[in-house]
Structure 1
Amino acid sequence: MDVDRLTAIDVHTHVLASVSEEERSGTDAAALAGTFGEIPELTVPELAAYYRERSMAAVVFTVDSVTRTGREPRVSNEEIAEQAAEHADTLIPFASVDPGRGAAAVRIARRLIEDHRVQGFKFHPSDQEFYPNDRAVYPLYEVIAEAGLPALFHSGQTGVGAGQRGGGGIRLKYSNPIHLDDVAVDFPDMPIVIAHPSVPWQDEALAVAGHKPQVYIDLSGWSPKYFPPQLVAQANSLLKRKVLFGSDFPALTPDRWLTDFAKLDLKDEVRPLILKENAVRLLGLGA
């Protein structure tokens, strides 16, 4: 990957369609419709073309929540990793393994690292129904930490199930970022990304990221014009090297996000850190 040619690195992009599907009307997009309306469902090659056209790179992943939903991910980790390797100039593959798989999750994660060269892991505590600091999940983190890879955790409210009866069965309590404080203590060398402005727990996220040196925050899932003021203030000062550009595409487009980001009152020196340089350091792309 030629980092110098990139204008930005989007660390939070979802793959919602498989190249093997003839029709695209999946439950992943439907689950987000209450918040984001109709959203496009793109394959890995389509995402590569989209980001390449914008001279950007993107971290791409699925979400494995088989324990709660009873369904395997619509797009497999293997498909994402294999196709991202064909578009390595633009795409960075993360994997998602449901901690509810137990011992099998550990074996799957190890195989994805060794055989498919995934470069990080995505967790969604509310969708996967687990507390991040549950020690039953620690063997899975041990595999990730041993490989020196980052772990990205959804935090705060979620568009999944929003507006549906009973919130689609999603429980927000699992995604309070304070639970990641324990994980950061127990795995001090595993980079952790707290995804999204953590509404309604923004202060908890800022506290954890400010206190633990390996903890970052990505800004995906919300237009920057809705960012809480304390998030903007710390992104502009204390956490300027800990905050990352993420869109949550295709729920929110990077074009929309960047347009609103340009209107934030940020120091000129901070913008390139958020848009690219912090991600280059986190992902080891500059080596």
Structure 2
Amino acid sequence: HVLELSSFQLDDIRTFRPNVAAILNITPDHLDRYGYRMDRYVESKFRIAMNQQAEDLLVVNADDPHSREWLSSHPVQSQLKRVPMPAYPAEVLEVDGHRFDMSQTVLKGPHNFFNAAVAIAIALHEGVAPQAIQQGLQSFRNAPHRLEVVARKGGVTWINDSKATNVDAVRYALEAMEGPVVWIAGGTDKGNDYGPLRELVRQKVKALICLGLDNRPLHDAFEDIVPEIVDTRSMPAAVNEAARRAGTGDTVLLSPACASFDLFENYMDRGDQFRQAVHGLTAQEQAAQPDEHN
């Protein structure tokens, strides 16, 4: 079984013991739950290893400062493997002496290359043949709401990254974008510090479509560097505003940096509504085109 566990779930574990555990990165998120103390959030994340034994494996990001600091004073019982961030962009990913061709995969961005490196390291540890791993890399398709390309129309690419509910996830998404970006963001702010995004936003974002009940934090963070900021309170409105501003070669990126609970049931509902609105938009465009066979 493979489980993805949030800090909320890890807070409640008592006897749970994974044979292999991985902590990919630790960046500020859900700090309202942890009294706005990063050390408490880090402690919650490392509960995943609390019951591991010497024969178990914990994989961590070798370049994550919070993991390094925690482990320096909280040794674990399990085997510890540190995986560094790989070079990006690159056509070859090298893990534990094995080389894997990344040129034919859909994985884009440094974060996805790192995720692949961790998955490869775990698969090799579990005895999976490198050839089978290569086949898996080439057949992999992104899950919904994670840099999911939902449409390409009129020279514009529409990407659903609704799962990006914190600043670090948005940073990874923006790093993976090529060309100008119309960015749809907003929702329930969790005490976000948008500072780490400013340079990327300055370089890549031509317009920011705010989608939330309270968009003031986004205005405060970016109104001096984004040429145009628009407020919306529904997904169809956000998609329509983005369509008006996106041109050939642009990407419309839904990557909210916030929780979804102000306007949506959850991040999946938010992403599903985005996909539906985009498809409705493209359907309207197709309906407006003359039938060349008539």
Q: TM-score, normalised by structure 1?
A: 0.29
State the structure with more CA Rg.
Answer: 2
Q: TM-score, normalised by structure 2?
A: 0.29
Which has more helix, going by share of residues?
Answer: 1
Q: Relative CO higher for 1 or 2, CA cutoff 8 Å, sep ≥ 6?
A: 1
Which has more strand, going by share of residues?
Answer: 2
